[in-house]
Chains A and B, each alone.
Chain A
Amino acid sequence: MNCTQCNDLLFDYIEGLINDQDKHALKAHIRTCDTCQSLLKDLQALQTRLTEHGQNLAQIELEIPVLGAIVRRQKQQLKAITPPSPQLRRPIMKSPITKLAIAAMVIMGCVLGITMWSGTQSIALADVLTRMEQARAYLYKMNMTITQTGDLPAGYPPTQEVESTILIAPEYGMKMTMKMGMIANQTMVQEQYLQPQNKRMLMIMPDQKKYMEMELTDQLADQYKKQNNDPRMMIETFLNCDYEKIGRSKITGIQVEGFRTTDPSFSGALGGKTNITLWVDSRTRLPVQMDMDMDMSMGAERTMHIKGIMTDFQWDVPVDTSVFEPVIPDDYTSLASSPIKMPEMTEETAIVGLKQYLDYAGQYPEDLSLMRVMSGMGKLMDSNTPASKALKQSIKGLNQNDMTKAMMDMMMPIQATVGFYARLAQEKKDPAYYGDIVTPDQPDLILMRWQIEDGQYRVIFSDLTAETVTPQQLTELESVLPQKESE
């Protein structure tokens, strides 16, 4: 072999692409030729330099930030083409009222169960992400410890353990089994089924032999269908919040990357102080674990601390579809006489919910966090408002089921108000609520507001009419609000 032939083969040699015969010849030549030997060393040094520099840069992970940015941009584009909502000034309907512990429990279950993994109702790439080719089912566990401090009702356990297993199949819906530690060491088991295609949600309590059925509106069913579809939705929710990367770690031998957010809008309806860490498998980009730490106020003297962990994720779990179609045994009775209608979380429902609360409690809720409103439900029944008296009167003769139904119907719009507000927060629509300083006898004061298209704001006044205003008008409206007593 001569130098020219050697030169021609050197690159293939360092890339390991030449045959044995050429390799022997080349090595033999190099042993005797200083020039080619030094050239080989040069090429190898350059190869190392390129490889190391390339690997160093390739450590970067752009997948999540890029997909996140695409989602945000698509959302902006969609917003730009959505027509503004029509002006709303309509009489508010009246309806009966009440409260019920079991109903509150059920609703809390729904909100905890659904809000935790659903996240924002974004369209766009989320929409896109949902159209994953294979219908797959996945499973995870969620364990929560709920600790309450302060002014608790007698016999109320300060600490509750909730263990849930959640199974989700895009085509069929969701099944969640919840085991809750209750008063006096009793446990309560609750199964929840979400069947978007049947537009219903079903709650079964096997120990009590009770069940409850709820009807979903088309909009809610669609929304749940979309949310169910994609395991990466939690990541999408994260991307909508302010989050930080916290680096790599290992969980049960899996290389993971961590993301943390303290953005309260992540937990939506739950509100309060939030600290969420999501661990994602570096290789598959699927979630491995989520740690949750939340503090929320339930009134002036009471706080709730939720510490939770979502773990044991299993992907592509084979499931029998009958799992999602429970057969209710004959000896089970329904908690309500007919299916409860789940209201849509819209401005109109929010107004109905606020009106409802006002009628029964004689005032607006002090704030719109789930826990505060739920813990305030008791007051609704005890108050002496005409509505409350009328309700107590009207349910007197009813059987238990009709009574439950009446109470649930009353509570649903109030729950929807909370849900609506939480969604505005999750979608970063700059919502604010002034129920703590505004009373119904000040009709021109602003009670609630949020941002809509083009930087305009939607405002609900204390007389429960709604209007669209400019940011300047909003500033004026907010400047005349009374100061809080404590300030």
Chain B
Amino acid sequence: MTETDTFYIGRCKNGHPDDFRFLVKRYQGALMGHLMGRVDNRDTAEEAAQESLVRAYFKIDTLKKPDRFFTWLLGISDRVALELCRTKRVQKQREHIRIEVQQAEEPSFSQDYVLEEAVSRLPDNYRHLILLRYYSQMSCRQIAEQLQIPLGTVTKTLSRAYALLRQTLTQSQTNESEVAG
């Protein structure tokens, strides 16, 4: 699993479609992290992640820049999530659950709504790096190699993403205590 996306996509197109499994493994976590902020629960996120990967497989020939696979995949998953949400009419439900969870003493660990929400509000370039670093468990160096950008850029972007996340999280904490107060 150390090859680049471009390598695996080339293999997929050249008679080894089986290699798609490496891309599934590489991005399943990040994709889940991305989708958790867009759908109502883990099961729906899993469903959407699976569907997104399947669609990506069938559309792989249309991907012009293989090094942009991850961004492209997230784009597909946004549409899938939207379709799923539309059919399931979950937005309201999500609001409802979020309020309940926020009011609960301890946040549910497997579903950290507040964090998911904060991550989903990050601008794309920050969010993508957070997803790769913590949800696909890639190191900063691996990200730099994969995206072909300097390591310093990766750490600076992540550092800035932290600042934005802290800001959002503090804000939501304040709102919460106002509600409580």
Contact = CB atoms under 8 A, between A and B. Distances in A.
Contact of B49 (A47, A62, A125, A131): A62
Q: Interface majority SS on B: helix, strand, loop or mixed?
A: helix
Nearest to A52: B109
Contact of A54 (B24, B29, B46, B155): B29
Interface of A: 10-12, 15, 17, 42-43, 46-47, 49-58, 60-63, 65-67, 69-70, 73, 125, 128-129, 131-133, 285
Contacts of B101: none
Contact of B134 (A42, A50, A69, A129): A50
8 A-B pairs with the lowest CB-CB distances in the bound complex, closest first: A58-B29, A11-B159, A54-B134, A57-B32, A54-B135, A50-B134, A128-B17, A62-B28
Contact of A53 (B21, B57, B115, B158): B115
A52 B140 CA distance: 17
Contacts of B18: 125, 128-129, 131-132
Contacts of A58: 28-29, 32, 135-137
Interface in B12-63: 15-18, 20-21, 24-25, 28-29, 32-33, 36, 42, 46, 49-51, 53-54, 57-58
12 contacts: A11-B159, A15-B140, A51-B134, A54-B136, A57-B135, A60-B46, A63-B21, A63-B24, A66-B21, A70-B20, A70-B54, A70-B58
A66 B3 CA distance: 21
A325 to B, nearest CB: 28
A228 to B, nearest CB: 16
Nearest to B155: A12
A73 B54 contact: yes
Contacts of B74: none
Interface string B107-119: 0011010011000
B169 interface: yes
B162 interface: yes
A69 B50 CA distance: 8
Given A57-B32, A125-B17, 19 more contacts: A11-B155, A46-B166, A46-B169, A47-B162, A49-B112, A50-B130, A50-B134, A52-B109, A53-B112, A53-B134, A54-B33, A54-B137, A61-B28, A62-B46, A62-B50, A63-B28, A67-B24, A131-B16, A131-B17
Given A11-B162, A58-B28, A17 B58 contact: no
B9 interface: no
Contacts of B110: 56
B165 interface: yes
Contacts of A57: 29, 32-33, 36, 42, 135
Given A11-B162, A46-B166, A49-B112, A66 B50 contact: yes
B155 to A, nearest CB: 5
A73 B58 contact: yes
B137 A62 contact: no
A384 to B, nearest CB: 57
Contacts of B54: 66, 69-70, 73
Contacts of B51: 69
A11 B158 contact: yes
B16 A46 contact: no
Contact of B115 (A49, A61, A66): A49
B137 A43 contact: no
Contacts of A46: 162, 165-166, 169
Nearest to A42: B166
B43 to A, nearest CB: 11
A316 B24 CA distance: 24
A10 B29 CA distance: 26
A131 B14 CA distance: 11
Interface string B147-173: 000010001001100100110010000
A131 B135 CA distance: 31
A226 to B, nearest CB: 14
Contacts of B140: 15, 17
Q: Kindly name the residue among A62, A63, A125, A131 whose own CB sees the greatest number of chain B CB atoms within 10 A.
A: A62
Given A15-B155, A70-B57, A65 B137 contact: no
A62 B134 CA distance: 18
